[in-house]
Chain A
Amino acid sequence: MRVTIDQDKCVGSGQCVLAAPDVFDQRDEDGIVVLLDPEPPRDLDQDVRRSAMVCPALAIQLTD
């Protein structure tokens, strides 16, 4: 699975970091999303899907 993020849309809720901390992080200054791993290992699939689902800004796009 391939992950892309949209930092302009992101509102810094941190929900993705809670769901998949190995894939997403936040910028120190304003909490905006930082992508740590654009192609996370398969065992994180469920966590990453959940991140995309709970993101309030729909700032996470997934492609298989």
Chain B
Amino acid sequence: MTETSTQIDPDTTAPGGATPPAYPMARDARCPFDPPPELRRLRDRQEPPTRVRLWDGSTPWLITGYDDQRALLVDPRVSADTGLAAYPHPTEATRARREQARTFISMDDPEHARLRRMVTGPFAIKRVEAMRPAIQRIVDDLVDAMLAGPRPVDLVQAFALPVPSMVICELLGVPYEDHAFFQRHSSVLVNRDQSPEASVQAQLALADYLDELIARKLAEPADDLLSRLALEQVATGALTRHDLAVTSVLLLIAGHETTANMIALGTAALLQHPEQLAELRTTDDPRLVAGAVEELLRYLTITHSGRRRVAAEDILVGGRTIRAGEGIILANDVGNRDGEAFPDPDRLDITREARHHVAFGFGPHQCLGQPLARVELQVVLSTLYRRIPGLRLATDLDQVRFKHDGLVYGVYELPVTW
């Protein structure tokens, strides 16, 4: 994060001739639930897009306003193609991994739509709602185990990780007994500080694992998503087994790392707002619970590495022209703290209308698994605090290790007792 002054192209300097600030920026350790102060200042100034400097010295544009972010994320002149030279990769490791394995999240339409639509069916609202009783059982069983076990306990390992892992395993048809294996590898993939080699190795290990599993599903199909995709797409030649394996890695990782972080970080945040936690504990109104999920998604925006794109044509944003071939970072964490879209944006308020947040992104790449994430989080919020009413941190908040180095934000551990 040090400032350097080596050969800055005049066009890449910020107004006033200063070197563009490094991105990502550091959070204030005293405000672990808020975006970095420097990023919030950029948002508050509401200036035209400014450049930031990444790990590789590149200087993409940073977009901080909610309206600009939505407009760009849905603009067909904006590309998500990670193969483009100016694509602002979050780390060297993510660049290496995208070169090694591309999925639809790294493609533009129509190819993106063709591949994405192969896996959207199971995430339709009704299909996910049908999973609610199974998700409730998983959550209840895990709470039973916590109540029967020792105190204090790490909420991440005992609850936050197993909930989404078990759910996505059930949906995909991945044996949960293998969770230690895939959790170990996915934790590598979501860390900002991993080497490209370790990251590619983890990606390959997961793809090999799923490739083998898909082969088994082809031989002996079961009632799960991997079997269905294997029969519908691989057996018919629409996708190779390897392509399906790579897509399945994405579903498996996206399906548990993010939700796990929301559960643990959300609990940490709610414990700082006991009056709102008390409302959740006592309510019988599913709309309050659903609204609380949206507000926590907005307020915490764990996808704190921003949405990343490249301008495919010249685009005018806030009076400034982003040239074709330049990188763009849409900082949805501060977009979700934009006072124009969310009055009093830095306040957590589970009763506010927050459904229009951009925590899942926006545009054609908006999160595929969001209906599943919503139901999982709704079940958690309506169950965990009600069944363990005395739940509290077993340590001081400033002792909790936050994932400042994560591609996705969260906590590494959350010691709790009751």
Contact = CB atoms under 8 A, between A and B. Distances in A.
Contacts of A29: 121
Interface string A13-25: 1110111010001
Contacts of B124: 12, 14, 17, 26-28, 31
Interface stretch (B142-150, B163-171, B364-372, B402-410): B364-372
Given A14-B371, A19-B355, A50-B355, A57 B117 contact: no
Nearest to A11: B364
A57 B367 CA distance: 12
Most buried by B among A29, A30, A31, A58: A31
B355 A12 contact: no
Interface in B114-164: 116-118, 120-121, 123-128
Contacts of A21: 125
B355 A14 contact: no
Interface in A1-51: 9, 11-15, 17-19, 21, 25-32, 50
Contacts of B126: 17, 25-26
A62 interface: no
A5 to B, nearest CB: 15
B117 A12 contact: yes
A6 to B, nearest CB: 12
Contacts of A58: 74
B366 A32 contact: no
Interface of B is mostly: loop
Contact of A13 (B73, B113, B118, B370): B370
Contact of B125 (A14, A30, A32, A57): A14
Contacts of B118: 30
A11 B119 CA distance: 11
Contacts of A14: 123-125, 128, 370-371
B355 A31 contact: no
A58 to B, nearest CB: 6
Contacts of A31: 117, 120-121, 123-124, 127
Interface of A: 9, 11-15, 17-19, 21, 25-32, 50, 53-54, 56-58
25 contacts: A11-B113, A11-B116, A11-B365, A12-B124, A13-B367, A13-B368, A14-B123, A14-B128, A14-B371, A15-B355, A17-B126, A18-B355, A26-B124, A26-B125, A26-B126, A27-B124, A31-B117, A31-B127, A54-B355, A54-B356, A56-B74, A56-B360, A56-B366, A57-B363, A58-B74
Q: Which 6 pairs from chain A and chain B are nearest by CB?
A: A56-B366, A12-B120, A31-B124, A31-B120, A14-B125, A26-B124
Given A12-B117, A12-B368, A29-B121, 12 more contacts: A12-B116, A12-B120, A13-B371, A14-B124, A14-B125, A14-B128, A15-B355, A30-B117, A32-B117, A32-B120, A50-B356, A56-B360
